């Protein structure tokens, strides 16, 4: 077992971060990717896929809350949610914190990630795996979207790796066309688009593709310490009403109705509104700079 070693993230060839490993918990190569989980000296347990940090116990709440609560509270009545990826269960947990959600389907292509997360990262998902509203499917999210009926979901959350390898097919015209089809009249899709200081092309290309199918395309920010390079962007596309037709009091009311009172460590109504105020170096990558 590896002890007291340093692990370097391999996201960028000329810049990165490293963690001191207290002990290695799992190191597996699945059908789809290399999976490593280790106990770090600074961030609790860490999940890496193909050498890239996906989640740490210490700061997972930032990403999980913002990718989940923002779209669910922006939708006037989000009852049916589709999650693609997110094998650690953290997004599923945040989605089902909403008492108003009646069904949450999670489709993760790599069952090994789910198994290892349940064993070594139990606090990320908690007991959400046993929630009767949850339907966890080990399978292809692309195929699931393709076969779903029109207006099947109110919100789609895509928590995938970057558009390389196993995650590449989640950033295509065909995928977004089918997502638009299966979303309800006020439907929303959100997915991570990396850190634009280093990965601006992800936000730009994703936004341009989705602008072909959705009337409203924008993005919002989350400051996740272990996603190095500044603000993380979460790209959003929406049907129906404009995404900015909200105010703090309405968001606060929806959060109370959903049962989120005092459960969040990052999301607030004020953070929600402010997250859509993009600095120019990010906003310029959106169609018409709608953000």
Q: Which residues are catalytic?
A: 159
Q: Do residues 19 and 43 lie in contact, with contact meaning Cβ atoms separated by under 8 Å? A: yes
Contacts of 245 (CB under 8 A, 6+ apart): none
User: Is 68 in a helix, a strand, or coil?
Assistant: helix
Beta strands in the chain (DSSP E): 5-8, 18-29, 34-40, 45-49, 52-56, 80-85, 103-108, 134-138, 153-159, 183-192, 216-222, 232-238
Q: Do residues 285 and 203 lie in contact, with contact meaning Cβ atoms separated by under 8 Å? A: yes
CA gap 100, 111 in Å, rounded: 28
Paired tokens of 91: 């997004």
Q: Do residues 114 and 137 lie in contact, with contact meaning Cβ atoms separated by under 8 Å? A: no
């Amino acid at each position: 077992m590896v002890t007291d070693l340093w692990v370097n993230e391999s996201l960028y060839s000329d810049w990165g971060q490293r963690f001191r490993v207290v002990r290695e918990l799992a190191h597996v190569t699945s059908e789809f990717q290399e999976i490593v989980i280790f106990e770090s000296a600074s961030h609790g347990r860490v999940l890496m896929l193909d050498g890239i940090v996906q989640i740490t116990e210490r700061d997972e709440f930032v990403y999980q809350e913002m990718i989940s609560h923002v779209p669910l509270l922006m939708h006037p009545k989000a009852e049916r949610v589709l999650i693609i990826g997110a094998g650690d269960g953290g997004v599923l947990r945040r989605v089902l914190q909403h008492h108003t959600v009646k069904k949450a389907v999670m489709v993760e292509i790599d069952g090994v990630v789910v198994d290892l997360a349940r064993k070594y990262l139990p606090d990320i998902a908690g007991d959400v795996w046993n929630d009767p509203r949850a339907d966890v499917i080990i399978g292809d999210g692309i195929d699931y979207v393709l076969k779903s009926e029109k207006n099947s979901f109110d919100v789609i959350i895509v928590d995938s790796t970057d558009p390389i390898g196993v995650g590449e097919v989640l950033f295509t015209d065909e995928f977004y066309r089918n997502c638009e089809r299966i979303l309800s009249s006020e439907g929303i899709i959100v997915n991570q688009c990396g850190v634009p200081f280093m990965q601006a092309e992800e936000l730009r290309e994703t936004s341009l593709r989705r602008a072909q199918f959705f009337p409203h395309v924008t993005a919002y920010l989350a400051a996740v310490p272990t996603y190095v390079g500044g603000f993380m962007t979460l790209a959003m596309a929406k049907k129906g009403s404009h995404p900015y037709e909200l105010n703090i009091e309405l968001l606060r009311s929806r959060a109370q109705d959903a049962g989120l009172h005092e459960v969040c460590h990052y999301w607030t109504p004020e953070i929600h509104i402010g997250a859509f105020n993009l600095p120019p170096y990010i906003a310029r990558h959106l169609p018409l700079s709608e953000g």
